[in-house]
Amino acid sequence: MSDLAWFFAMAACLKLLLIPCYHSTDFEVHRHWLALTSSLPLRQWYSDLSSPWTLDYPPLFAFFEFLLSLPASFFDPSITNLHSHNLSSPSAVLFLRLSVSFSDLILLLAANLLSAPFPSLRRRITLLLLIWSPALLIVDHVHFQYNGYLLGIFLLSLALLAQGRDLLGGIVFAALLCSKHLFLVAAPVYFVYLLRHYCRGGLWTGTRRLLTMGVAVAAVFAAAFGPFVYYGQIQQVFRRLFPFGRGLTHAYWAPNFWVFYILLDKGLAFILAKFGFSIPTPMASFTGGLVGESSPFAVLPQVTPVVTFLLVLLAMSPCLVKAFFNPQPKHIVRWVSYACACGFMFGWHVHEKASLHFVIPLGIIATNSLDDARHYFLLSIVSCYSMFPLLFEPQEYPIKVLLLVIHAMLMWMGFSTYFSQRTNTKGTKGNDPKDHCKGSELIGYVGICYLSGFVLIEIWGQFLHPYILGNRLPFLPLMLVSIHCAVGMMYSWAWQLRQILRYT
Amino acid sequence: MAKTKRKSFAEATMSPATIAVISLFALLIRVLVSIGPHSGEASPPKYGDYEAQRHWMEITLHTPTSEWYRNTSSNDLSYWGLDYPPLSAYQSFAHGLIINSSLPSSLALLSSRGFESPTSKRMMRWTVISSDLMVFFPAAIWFVLVHYRRRNQEDGSAWWLLSMILLNPALILIDHGHFQYNCISLGLTLGAVAAVISDKDVIGAIMFTLAINHKQMSMYFAPAFFSYLLGKCLRRRNPILEVVKLGFVVLATFALVWWPYLYSLEAILAVLARLAPFERGIYEDYVANFWCSTSVIIKWKRLFAIQPLKILSFILTVSSFIPSLIHQIKSPSDHGFLYAMLNSSFSFYLFSYQVHEKSILLPLLPASLLAQQEPLFFGWLMYYALLSMYPLLCRDKLILQYMATLALFYLIYCSPVRRNATKGYKLSLPMKTLMALLLLSSFVLHLIYLIMKPPEKYPFLFEALIMSLCFSQFVMLTLYTNIKQWMLSDNSPQTMSKKNL
């Protein structure tokens, strides 16, 4: 049995065991979409209102759900019944959970392509980071989503680009955009890179290639959106895809830049009030859930979607410039991950799950150098921990903790073995202190202090808070998680930026 | 998540980090299995083993010690009466105290029968998981460390042996799925093994006595412990003193555990009567042993009364473990001791009176300790042991967990790192064909049992088929291990060195 199959099979066993776990309302969302796509004609997919969980993924994903609904109705017809609301019969759970596991096969394919050139140990570490990601297990196989499938497509396109097969990579990326439009944030990098790398070679070849790529991408979009244009539904589709009525942050703040912005606002309001200024209390609260139209900020200026959009573009501009002047396949993973990180840090209404969009791709290059490994070690722990609030029931508590701890230990063992081996073989070539690793050096003192912070926050949130404060300040534990993770995310973002400025 | 690339950084022994990762992974699997259903979930009026354990907590918590094994107004012995030795009862009492402090309604006397709630289930599950962590895990780690320190083996790596012992799917499914506390008695036995092979005979004797006092089924190993310790003592300078010392330790431990019942002979006999329920017949349900499998041809229960059957099964059991007993007295060795444990537990499983299908866990324990020497044997036994419990686990609705843990076990069993170690096997073609046929038939049986309805005339046809298949395998395997034990070289280096001490 090959390493690849072994890793995947081990993960599959864990996924089987996770089937009886808690699942979130996203389960019903996807169950409803199965019913929707199988029982309604195409032109009603985006206008149907029979459930609050309206279809808000792009058409290719809807087609994917349609494909899944075909075996589903064989398996248990009630799954695809539009009127069986909140169905969670054992057969429905089994079918949908298994469908997630099967759709992970595309992640396997991408991981295979990406890790094929690596030597044995490095390959295993990469598979560990991609296929055994605890965050993916938590989000996909407990909480319930299809991120493994989407990230599989994403990684596939990155693998193709890294191999120099630009046209195919572009097509796959277009297909990804038509499956989940959140990946739009990576589009600028793709655009600049493909323009400069694929469409090079003189005016004639360049134009021909530009046209080829344009036609290919347009064909993908036409295949996805065409039917809805034909039925005159396209406006409705876009209304569903881009609901800007939602607020800047989610009820649980995703650990990004806006956490600091909100905190600064609260802090300023507090200080100004002390000095006697009258500060109107904002109508909307960040912790109460949905944020409406009114400005939730007391002092600082209101943030609009346009502002976040410009900020994201501004943040990713260094990497666009780099990609423009020196487009190289070996840097594409880093650039694209950075772009996704920018979207996560500064975007509008970001979910904590979106951190997967750059944590998983960064796994490919985590074994490039000791610095990368150090950064990745910290980042993946932060990202996984920030998803802990998704599983709030006591039954899953030990599961999420064990998943993270085991993963962190395996990562630590893998990295330290790999880099100490590398030093040994390179040993004669002068002692480069940078690539020397004794395990404990994988995380410096600051890192150890930061990681201990997680333990403290967890102890506070789980034991001390209910004991000391009781029901007062119920939002405090989650807020602490957000803030602490946001520090790590901010560091990771800055580190990536520095890495791009220096080395690409 | 599991352990790969271990070999490169743990050639012979394990680093603490390796031990931690394997243990945490084994813990994760236990936690995952424990969120599944348990035996008798929501099935009144008798429920299952889960209710039995909960009921024992209720009884031990609310009645005086002297009444635990007696029929009283508050202790109806016909409803899951306590039928394990006192240490089990103390354990129920301790766990009952913990659960009672936060959820007294789940253990209220009489009114709590069949109590089920998510919280109480979680607490019950954690009593098993914590017992496992406190008894079985340390014992397994101790054994592997001792094993490697004593025998500088090159054939494989310690992490693999540890994961084989800790990830035993049969044990995980019965303890954390079906619901029992085998991890305690097996953990104590394992600890005793680790102690005696590192020459801490007194500690070993205490731990094994405790194991017997937790579950009387641990007696399956008694011939092996007896013969190995006796054989070792006979080789020391003062054999009689050594034997007396161990005998005293065993008796003292027994006395300590049985203290509340030592006030009268009648009280002791009352407990003993609960431990050996001869009136329940020579076998129950479907178990892959001699009595059940041959009952298709010879109706033992109908032809014989209880008394002759008792004698017959006693004679068969003793005569089947006698060879391995003699071997260990003659030439005790670490290695031979493990084979002796295997052989004696097999002879009890196959021939003794009132055996449960879950008792296959007992031969599995020494088999897992011998995984390094007998990988093929161990893998084969594990598969058929699981198959022999398949009908039980189907009833418990644990098929998903059955498949997942089975697959997980074999994935680690032949993990990419280990591959070289198992390549040494060269099987002849007829042997391979036979094995393939057996595997195929068992796959088919799995499927048939799950999908098809048995003919009305023979409602237990499939169970009987599964049991006969498993029985045939177990007989072959135990013949093999008996021969293997006798073929071990008589003068193993350890026995020689001990003589000189």
Provide the ipTM. Answer: 0.92
Q: How far apart are CA B246 and CA B238, in angstroms?
A: 13
User: Contact at 8 Å (CB) between B167 and B175?
Assistant: no
Chain B residues touching A125 at Cβ < 8 A: 5
Distance from CA of B92 to the nearest CA of A (A): 23
User: Contact at 8 Å (CB) between B348 and B219?
Assistant: yes
Burial class (CB in 10 A: 0-12, 13-18, 19+), A332: buried
Question: Is residue B35 located within the same domain as residue B123?
Answer: yes
Chain B residues touching A425 at Cβ < 8 A: none
With residues binned 3-state (H G I as helix, E B as strand, rest as coil), the percentages for chain B, rounded to 5, are 70, 0, 25
Question: Is residue B36 located within the same domain as residue B48?
Answer: no
Question: Is residue B67 located within the same domain as residue B177?
Answer: no
Q: Which residues of chain B have pLDDT under 70?
A: 1-13, 150-156, 417-425, 489-501
User: Contact at 8 Å (CB) between B166 and B144?
Assistant: no
Question: Is residue B156 located within the same domain as residue B75?
Answer: no
Question: Is residue B138 located within the same domain as residue B47?
Answer: no
Show the 3-state SS of B226-270.
HHHHHHHHHCCCCHHHHHHHHHHHHHHHHHHHCHHHCCCHHHHHH
Question: Is residue B183 located within the same domain as residue B46?
Answer: no
In a domain, A333, yes or no: yes
Which tokens sit at A380? 């993946």
User: Contact at 8 Å (CB) between A23 and A93?
Assistant: yes
Tell which of B4, B18, B23, B419 to mutate to test the A interface (max A CBs under 10 Å): B4
Report DSSP state, residue A255.
S
Does A9 contact B407 at a Cβ distance shorter than 8 Å? Answer: yes
In a domain, A180, yes or no: yes
In a domain, A100, yes or no: yes
Chain A residues touching B405 at Cβ < 8 A: 13, 17
Q: How far apart are CA A306 and CA A300, in angstroms?
A: 16
Q: How far apart are CA B156 and CA B420, in angstroms?
A: 9
User: Within A119-201, where are the H helices?
Assistant: 120-131, 134-136, 147-162, 166-177, 187-193
Chain A residues touching B3 at Cβ < 8 A: 410
Tell which of A7, A8, A13 to mutate to test the B interface (max B CBs under 10 Å): A13
Alpha carbon A382 to its chain centroid, in Å, reads 13
Question: Is residue B145 located within the same domain as residue B120?
Answer: yes
Alpha carbon B256 to its chain centroid, in Å, reads 24
In a domain, B203, yes or no: yes
Does B403 contact A16 at a Cβ distance shorter than 8 Å? Answer: yes
How many domains does chain A divide into? 1
Half-sphere exposure of B80 (CA within 13 A, CB side): 21
Q: How far apart are CA B137 and CA B184, in angstroms?
A: 10
Burial class (CB in 10 A: 0-12, 13-18, 19+), B396: buried
Does B24 contact A410 at a Cβ distance shorter than 8 Å? Answer: no
In a domain, A419, yes or no: yes
The identity of residue A200, as a single letter, is R
Q: How many CB pairs under 8 A join A and B?
A: 92
Q: How far apart are CA A2 and CA B399, in angstroms?
A: 27
Distance from CA of A352 to the nearest CA of B (A): 23
Distance from CA of A12 to the nearest CA of B (A): 8
Burial class (CB in 10 A: 0-12, 13-18, 19+), A54: middle
CA-based nearest residue in chain B for residue A16? B404
CA-based nearest residue in chain A for residue B4? A124
Q: Which residues of chain A have pLDDT under 70?
A: 1, 244-245, 281-295, 425-440
The whole-number pLDDT of residue A240 equals 86
CA proximity to B275, closest of B128, B81, B96: B81
Distance from CA of B246 to the nearest CA of A (A): 42
CA-based nearest residue in chain A for residue B25? A406
Chain B residues touching A134 at Cβ < 8 A: 1
CA proximity to A135, closest of A411, A371, A342, A462: A411
A200-213 residue pLDDT tens: 878 898 899 999 99
User: Contact at 8 Å (CB) between A160 and A41?
Assistant: no
Does residue B399 belong to the interface with chain A, where contact is any CB pair within 8 Å? no
What size, in residues, is chain B? Answer: 501
In a domain, B138, yes or no: yes
Q: In which domain, by residue range, is B388 found?
A: 6-41+116-282+310-500
Residues whose CB is less than 8 angstroms from the CB of residue A164 and which lie 6 or more positions away in sequence, other chains included: A329
Orientation angle between helical segments B49-62 and B118-131, nearest 10 degrees: 90
Task: Nearest by CB to B404, from A7, A13, A405: name it.
Answer: A13
Distance from CA of A1 to the nearest CA of B (A): 7
Task: Nearest by CB to A407, from B1, B32, B408: name it.
Answer: B1
In a domain, A7, yes or no: yes
In a domain, A291, yes or no: no
DSSP for B265-298?
HHHHHHHHHHH--GGG-SB-S--SSHHHHHTTTS
Which tokens sit at B227? 């013969």
A376-426 residue pLDDT tens: 999 999 999 999 999 988 999 999 999 999 999 999 999 988 988 877 765
The whole-number pLDDT of residue B5 equals 40
Task: Nearest by CB to B2, from A10, A19, A414: name it.
Answer: A10
Does B1 contact A394 at a Cβ distance shorter than 8 Å? Answer: no
CA proximity to A480, closest of A191, A240, A190, A252: A252
Does residue B450 belong to the interface with chain A, where contact is any CB pair within 8 Å? no
In a domain, B439, yes or no: yes
List residues bridging with B355 in a β-sheet: B283
In a domain, A498, yes or no: yes
Does B24 contact A1 at a Cβ distance shorter than 8 Å? Answer: no
The whole-number pLDDT of residue A432 equals 47
User: Contact at 8 Å (CB) between A315 and A342?
Assistant: yes
Residues whose CB is less than 8 angstroms from the CB of residue A323 and which lie 6 or more positions away in sequence, other chains included: A189, A192, A193, A196, A331, A335
Q: Which residues of A make CB contacts under 8 Å with B?
A: 1-3, 6-7, 9-10, 12-14, 16-21, 121, 124-125, 128, 132, 134, 394-395, 398-399, 402-403, 405-407, 409-410, 412-414, 417, 421
In a domain, A241, yes or no: no
The identity of residue A437, as a single letter, is C
Does A406 contact B411 at a Cβ distance shorter than 8 Å? Answer: no
Question: Is residue B63 located within the same domain as residue B99?
Answer: yes
Does B17 contact A412 at a Cβ distance shorter than 8 Å? Answer: yes
Does B24 contact A409 at a Cβ distance shorter than 8 Å? Answer: yes
User: Contact at 8 Å (CB) between A121 and A404?
Assistant: no
User: Contact at 8 Å (CB) between B99 and B107?
Assistant: yes
Distance from CA of A349 to the nearest CA of B (A): 33
Q: How far apart are CA A254 and CA A191, in angstroms?
A: 28
Distance from CA of A180 to the nearest CA of B (A): 29
Task: Nearest by CB to B36, from A20, A124, A134: name it.
Answer: A20
Residues whose CB is less than 8 angstroms from the CB of residue B56 and which lie 6 or more positions away in sequence, other chains included: B80, B82, B88, B89, B92, B96
Tell which of B1, B9, B31, B423 to mutate to test the A interface (max A CBs under 10 Å): B1
Does A17 contact B33 at a Cβ distance shorter than 8 Å? Answer: yes
Which tokens sit at A55? 């279809």
Question: Is residue B18 located within the same domain as residue B74?
Answer: no
Residues whose CB is less than 8 angstroms from the CB of residue B345 and which lie 6 or more positions away in sequence, other chains included: B220, B221, B224, B362, B363, B365, B366
Orientation angle between helical segments B399-413 and B16-34, nearest 10 degrees: 160
Cis geometry, peptide bond prior to residue A255 (ω within 30 degrees of 0): no
Please state, as a whole number, how many other Cβ atoms lie within 10 Å of the Cβ of residue B406: 19
Does residue B123 belong to the interface with chain A, where contact is any CB pair within 8 Å? no
Supply the pTM of this predicted model: 0.92
Task: Nearest by CB to B35, from A12, A13, A20: name it.
Answer: A20
Question: Is residue B471 located within the same domain as residue B495?
Answer: yes
User: Contact at 8 Å (CB) between A136 and A360?
Assistant: yes
In a domain, B296, yes or no: no
Instruction: Compute φ and ψ for B283, nearest 5 degrees.
Output: -150, 160
User: Within B117-200, where are the H helices?
Assistant: 118-131, 137-150, 158-166, 169-172, 182-197
In a domain, B206, yes or no: yes
Does A403 contact B24 at a Cβ distance shorter than 8 Å? Answer: no
How many domains does chain B divide into? 2
Q: In which domain, by residue range, is A351 found?
A: 3-231+309-425+432-503
Chain B residues touching A403 at Cβ < 8 A: 1, 28
Report DSSP state, residue A282.
P
The whole-number pLDDT of residue B10 equals 39
Does A134 contact B1 at a Cβ distance shorter than 8 Å? Answer: yes
Does A20 contact B24 at a Cβ distance shorter than 8 Å? Answer: no
Residues whose CB is less than 8 angstroms from the CB of residue B294 and which lie 6 or more positions away in sequence, other chains included: B300
CA-based nearest residue in chain B for residue A406? B21
List residues bridging with B283 in a β-sheet: B355
Q: How far apart are CA B302 and CA A217, in angstroms?
A: 79
Task: Nearest by CB to A17, from B24, B32, B118: name it.
Answer: B32
User: To which residue do tokens 């074999």 refer?
Assistant: B410
Q: Write the CA distances from A421 to A413, A417, B3, B9, B64, integer angstroms.
A: 12, 6, 18, 10, 63
List residues bridging with B76 in a β-sheet: none
In a domain, B457, yes or no: yes
Task: Nearest by CB to B407, from A13, A124, A412: name it.
Answer: A13
Burial class (CB in 10 A: 0-12, 13-18, 19+), B199: middle
In a domain, B231, yes or no: yes
Question: Is residue B54 located within the same domain as residue B172?
Answer: no
Question: Is residue B100 located within the same domain as residue B225?
Answer: no
